[in-house]
Amino acid sequence: MERLEEACEQARLRGNCLGLLYLDLQRFRQINDTQGHELGDLLLAEIAGRFSAQVEPGEFIARLGGDEFMVLLTDTRPAAMAHAIERYRSSLMAPIRLSERSFSISASVGAALFPRDADTAQSLFQHASIALNHAKQDSSRTRFFTATMADELHQYEILQLRFSEALAKDKLSLAFQPQFSLKTGKLIGAEALCRWHDEILGHVSPATFIPLAEEQGLICALGEWVLEAACQQLMTWERQGKPFPGRLSVNVSAQQMDDPRLAEHIQRIATRVPPGKLGLELTESGLMRNPEQTVRVTRALCRAGFSLAIDDFGTGYSSLSYLKRFAADTLKIDMSFVKDMLKSSHDHAIVSTIIAMAQTLGMLTVAEGVEAAEQAEALSALGCTGVQGFHFGRPVDGDTFAKQWL
């Protein structure tokens, strides 16, 4: 950092450009964890030697820590920086042989240019770091900093702060999408869906704030809030003399399933609601993160009287041997299959197979995303139990739901 400060000052005085490359090794942590730190240190030393052999006049390389390196390029231009990136990356092309083993290592690279991208050493460092984060998500594994990246990061920070506040101050809400029996046409339940309307940001999609909650470690707190709000709504409808038929389903995240005491937490929150009134929806991918623990948790929830549905079924990688062990009573057919089942023979076959498998296992089926009467008729002919989707009803707030369907 002292060298960077000095180089920025010299570049400022001479009117030169200064380049900064931030390199992060891919797979190194995995090798370090599986092969041990001693071998990891030897690997780092070999990589440092290869990088050092690439240093040309006017370049300075340093290891920041862990598996991160930085290269300082004095009096440079973007094209020269691109060539330098290829030089350092190419030095890793040949496998590294250590302890009679061979390791293939590559690097993600973020790059920033002074003074075009930053006017201080600290901001140049920060912007190279931002570029590196984008590089890790890019197929080329290389990104030069742009102003758009900084704007996106700023917007993300605002979003993060606003969401944390909304969750802490009870500014979220629930919408309820009805579920109907295909056989009787009667209401058999609903799915509780979290909604967030921010005073500044406006309506924020769950597709945005749920991944945010997962990244920020807030998804378990969000899951508890949704569960408590759903229980509160069930009691409100009961007090209004409009008891809810069937079950109100609440989504449970994969991270919540990591908690071996999840069943106890849910029972504690839902003490005021008869267990039969509350259903839990768990995604197929979430169930398979730790299948043995999932078996224990789902069986504990089943013993406590909660009904369980496997959400987005068909989109993950369920093992059929585990499927019969999970204490789930319902498979939810993902809307991606329902959407094109009338046009695609493949999707129709998938839907038909899921329904037939559920029937064989003694499970119910609920098709999501039903938007046309023709879809409902086809699902009914295949023996699907229930449906939800815009054709039957859009998600609405608790009062509107009571007026329309209770």
Residue 121 · residue 8 · CB < 8 Å: yes
196: its two tokens: 């967030």
Which carries the bigger pLDDT value, residue 39 or residue 317? 39
What pLDDT, in 10s, does the model give residues 364-373?
999 999 999 9
Q: Over range 317-331, report the average pLDDT.
A: 75
Name the CATH superfamily housing domain 2-145: Reverse transcriptase/Diguanylate cyclase domain (3.30.70.270)
Per-residue pLDDT band at 338 (split at 50, 70, 90):
very high
Question: What's the fold here for domain 158-405?
Answer: TIM Barrel (3.20.20)
Per-residue pLDDT band at 317 (split at 50, 70, 90):
low
pLDDT in the model for residue 318: 59
Angle of the 345-360 helix axis to the 373-382 helix axis, nearest 10: 40
Q: What gap in Å lies between CA 135 and CA 131, rounded to an integer?
A: 6
pLDDT in the model for residue 272: 86
Q: What gap in Å lies between CA 252 and CA 256, rounded to an integer?
A: 6
Residue 316 · residue 284 · CB < 8 Å: yes
pLDDT in the model for residue 263: 85
pLDDT in the model for residue 319: 60
Per-residue pLDDT band at 249 (split at 50, 70, 90):
very high
What pLDDT, in 10s, does the model give residues 43-93?
999 999 999 999 999 999 999 988 999 999 998 999 999 999 999 999 999
Q: Give the strands of the sheet with 59-65, arranged side by side.
A: 59-65, 68-74, 18-26, 106-114, 142-144
What pLDDT, in 10s, does the model give residues 261-315?
888 888 888 888 887 899 999 887 777 777 788 888 888 888 888 888 988 776 7
Q: What gap in Å lies between CA 384 and CA 290, rounded to an integer?
A: 29
Average pLDDT value over all residues in the chain: 91
What pLDDT, in 10s, does the model give residues 103-119?
889 999 999 999 999 98
pLDDT in the model for residue 185: 93
Residue 23 CB-half CA count within 13 A? 29
Distances in Å between the alpha carbon of 384 and those of 75, 338, 366?
68, 12, 7
**Residue showing tokens 């390199």:** 23
DSSP type of residue 74: E
**Alpha-helix residue ranges (DSSP H) falling in 182-334:** 206-215, 219-239, 254-257, 262-269, 284-287, 291-303, 320-323
Q: What gap in Å lies between CA 339 and CA 387, rounded to an integer?
A: 13
pLDDT in the model for residue 240: 93
pLDDT at residue 42 above 70? yes
What pLDDT, in 10s, does the model give residues 392-402?
999 999 999 99
What pLDDT, in 10s, does the model give residues 160-185?
999 999 999 999 999 999 999 999 99
The domain ranges of the chain are 2-145, 158-405
- Spell out where 27-99 has E strands: 59-65, 68-74, 96-98
Per-residue pLDDT band at 385 (split at 50, 70, 90):
very high
pLDDT at residue 384 above 80? yes
pTM assigned to the model = 0.74
Q: What gap in Å lies between CA 308 and CA 328, rounded to an integer?
A: 5
